[in-house]
Amino acid sequence: MRILVVEDEPKTGDYLKQGLAEAGFMVDLARDGLDGLHLALTEAYDLAVLDVMLPGIEGWQVLQGIRKAGKDMPVLFLTARDSVDDRVKGLELGADDYLVKPFAFSELLARVRTLLRRGSKTKEADVLRAADLELDLMRRRVTRGGKKIDLTSKEFSLLELLLRRQGEVLPRSLIASQVWDMNFDSDTNVIEVAIRRLRAKVDDSFEPKLIHTARGMGYVLEAAE
């Protein structure tokens, strides 16, 4: 998967490139709008991450240029100004998602993966698996090592999210919004507690442990290699 990052702030650009590369993407970094547009039009990318405020030509113009050339790769834009106008403008010009600075890198990564997944229609599995853990979507049943595990409906949704995106670090804010529809940053440790309770049911009396805490970033479900 190739990603184009257009970002003029040197540190941000470098870390975005490093972070995305370490998450397994091939990343090209352009430091101004003109280079960015040139790369976007000449190379083939699966996704572009675009800063709005750029020297040379603005991110909006890069976005317009990309869409005008008929390229329909998903575009995620980054903005420092959280104004409704900006968001509306970006989405109207054909952006697919946006993040307001400062953002957590784990959040960016999660959004990037969501956008990339949107493009490829994989067959929806009826049963999600990790190691000996099985989650049956049709029968709403969870088993581990053949033993049935009773979960509340929200615990089921939480586990489903973790399983669907296993291997990805999911930030707390994303978990809160996807599972509980809580779209504001709650200042409580409720996600921590919810994860702890899910772990008690899914992981505590089993090996290997599947749900891991990525400190300072979020949670990840991963069957140890």
Partner 1 sequence: MMLRRGKSLTARLTLLFAIVSSCVLLILGLVIAELVERHFEDMDLELLEGKLELIQHAVLSARTEGNFDNLPAQLDAALVGHHGLAVGVWGPDGKRLFLSEEAEFPENNAPLKPGQVLPKTWKGHDEQHYRGISGQAPTGVQGEPPAMVLLSTSLTHHDHFMQSFRLTMWAVVSLAALVSGFLGWIAASRGLAPLRNIVRRASDITANSLDQRIEAGEIPLELAEVVSTLNDMLGRLKESFDRLSDFSSDIAHELRTPVSNLLTQTQVMLSKVRSIDEYQDVLASNSEELERLSRTIADMLFLAKADNHLIVPTQEPVDLEAEISSMLEFYEPLIEEKQLQLTFHGHAEVDGDRLMLRRAVGNLLSNAIRHTPEHGFINIALELDGEKVSIRIKNSGETIPSEHLPRLFDRFYRVDSSRQRTGEGSGLGLAITKSIALAHNGSVSVSSTDGATSFSLRLPARRSF
Binding site for partner 1 (CB under 8 A): 82, 100, 102-104, 154, 176, 180-190, 193-194, 196-197, 215-217
Nearer to partner 1, 44 or 84 (CB): 84
Give min distance, CB of 8 to partner 1, in A: 20
> Which tokens belong to 198?
């899910």
Give the integer Cα–Cα distance in Å for 220 and 56.
Answer: 40
Give min distance, CB of 191 to partner 1, in A: 9
Nearer to partner 1, 163 or 194 (CB): 194
Nearer to partner 1, 118 or 196 (CB): 196
Nearer to partner 1, 103 or 206 (CB): 103
How far is CA 141 from each of CA 159, 195, 207, rounded to the nearest angstrom?
A: 11, 19, 20
Nearer to partner 1, 34 or 214 (CB): 214
Give min distance, CB of 54 to partner 1, in A: 22
Give min distance, CB of 105 to partner 1, in A: 9
Give min distance, CB of 120 to partner 1, in A: 30
Do 114 and 76 touch, CB atoms closer than 8 A?
A: no
Give min distance, CB of 214 to partner 1, in A: 8
Nearer to partner 1, 62 or 222 (CB): 222
